[in-house]
Structure 1
């Protein structure tokens, strides 16, 4: 038996979850920002590229990490979505029918469209997620017979997003890899027969960190995609305004976990230090004449992003400005970066 977590561990896990909540909200907000400021077509293209990029980077390595890369393609694909999303705190169900057909279902409430956000998501944007990821799993596995059949979509007013992976007896053309069959319905979910992660290789501390990283990964993927798709100026604006709005809305929730109250620059500087530590970034703070300088030595989330652009730093700039506004009026936040927008990121608060 493993020892029960002590109070320090539990506090750390709560801080990680606060970071997850912030990045989760940012990603959902970013999609809505594109919907409202650029339109449905651009938002669908953005979501498609984000999920295709994640699928290409994460799917095959994820199968190995989860220990399911030996399973038949339809079963492996469905179990991947069940297990990986479960780690991230997403409501998801898995139903096995045969080695050539397995279902997944995302019941309400939907993680990605949390709360009233679901009311602002067009159907084309939700379908783009399926085109980006689910429809490409057969290609990634080297089996062009594998496709995804979607039977419901939450954003269309149905009681969840669901569908099944099916291995056909012939290779599928591009437009056959995602099809819709709204007259069908998923079998009932039975938790007792669902796959589970091996406890030995997925202990509680690993699960808690993975929960945080799950939400952060979406932002890691989305920021460079935004720059490549919409250009530096437009992307920088969209990344920044989303961050500011989300920061203002979520300061109270995040601050409650990080033990920060609304007062002024000193308290906000302390809050930022705690936030950076909770996302595994080292920082140093100096004070001078009522102003505070935080030297953020790393931004680990973007460390190995090959097409990172300095405009990606607008994510943090917007978030920190919004969080400052949520903390109190007239708390100024200014960012300076090293060459290429890389760390150290120097924040002046006053």
Structure 2
């Protein structure tokens, strides 16, 4: 997602990137916020603390470092310290203020609307993209109905008070087994893909969305294959284009797809290794304007990784979406 947003900034302009981020987080808000309050047991809290606690707990479930502070029933802080997870590494240097702020307008500023509380707004006291030591701010019940432009306000002359990290609220998830925590992290990450695909297609149209996402997906595959392959003790930078190289990439691809929660199998025949995937779990029950174009864009991630693994391999992808759902296969062979 970071690469997609940077690509939109550089290729289609700051306004398009800002619009995408706004649409993405507004869609997530409308789908997740009110049900999430119920699941987290926050429905009976006062609105300002409930909102801040929602962000604190939901991000913690995804492995994101977050702080919380309740000043009163009407004022509660949330803080995302650096490094900001969404702007990986040095990518943060290319993120404009308006693009980062679009997340707040898309989600935080709409909380009062969703709760039926026209008095509730969010005051941002700093964003990391502007050189501040984290993204932070507070939900505040103004005691009067506020205008739409007041739902998100910037006040960089204010600062979140000190937080006692040892005394932060805890969910029972802290005692979950590691495997369950990792599955939760995965679900958190996959939700960004599930929001990304329909949002981009609705904003740009099927073909333009395929081109933009496909481009950045391929680049991410090229850039991150080596790191992930080493973590799996698999070879990289091969230039053989032979059966052993095809087997090694098939092991990598199968492992990543299985980690994503997909059902996969690998078979060898006719001088090639084929990885088959039954269904596409990541987009189950998701209404995509152009599902085949969405898959073709996402598939560039795996084609980029294959090129980084061994540029003399050929990967032929077949995919169909019928009454039995998705049927996908990658035939990997030398060329």
TM norm. shorter chain > 0.5: yes
Alignment of 1:336 with 2:318, yes or no, is yes
Instruction: Indicate the residue corresponding to 1:8 in structure 2.
Output: none
d(CA) in 2 for partners of 1:199, 1:85: 12
Aligned residues: 324
Partner residue, 1:109: 83
Q: Find 1:323's aligned residue among 267, 283, 305.
A: 305
1:294 maps to which of 254, 275, 287: 275
* SS of structure 2 residue aligned to 1:306: coil
Aligned match for 1:72, one of 19, 43, 46: 46
Larger RCO, structures 1/2 (Cα 8 Å, 6+ apart): 1
Q: For 2:270 and 2:128, locate their aligned partners in 1 and report how far apart those are by CA, in whole Å.
A: 53
1:346 aligns with 2:329: yes
Do residues 42 (structure 1) and 16 (structure 2) align?
A: yes
Q: Which moved more, 1:190-199 or 1:313-322?
A: 190-199
Distance 1:199 1:110, change over 3 A: closer
1:267 shift after superposition: 0.8
1:54-88: per-residue Cα shift (whole Å, max 9, x none)?
11111112122222222111001001111111121
Q: How does 1:15-94 map to 2 (within 5 A)?
A: 27-94=1-68
| Mapped partners of 2:178, 2:321: distance in 1 | 39
Out of 294, 297, 312, the position equivalent to 1:312 is 294
Residue 339 of structure 1 aligns to a residue whose secondary structure is: strand
Cα distance between partner residues in 1 of 2:108 and 2:176: 25
Runs of 4+ in 1 over 6 A off after TM superposition: none
Q: CA deviation at 1:258?
A: 2.9
Structure 1 unmatched runs, 5+: 1-26
Whole-angstrom CA distance in 1 between matches of 2:308 and 2:200: 26
8 Å Cα contact 1:302-1:308 kept in structure 2: no
Provide the alpha-carbon RMSD of the alignment: 1.8
Give CA deviations for 1:31-67 in whole Å, capped at 9, x if unaligned.
1111111110000000000000011111112122222
Secondary structure of 1:261's counterpart equals coil
Residue segments in structure 2 that go unaligned for 5+ positions in a row: 239-244
Match of 2:247 in 1: 266
CA contact (8 A) 1:239 1:314 kept: no
8 Å CA contact 2:206–2:289 kept in 1: the answer is: no
SS at match of 2:235: coil
Distance 1:197 1:32 in 2: 34
Q: 1:153 pairs with 111, 127, 139, which one?
A: 127
Q: Distance in 1 between matches of 2:84 and 2:144?
A: 34
How do 1:95-244 residues align onto structure 2 when only pairs under 5 Å count?
Answer: 95-199=69-173, 202-244=176-218
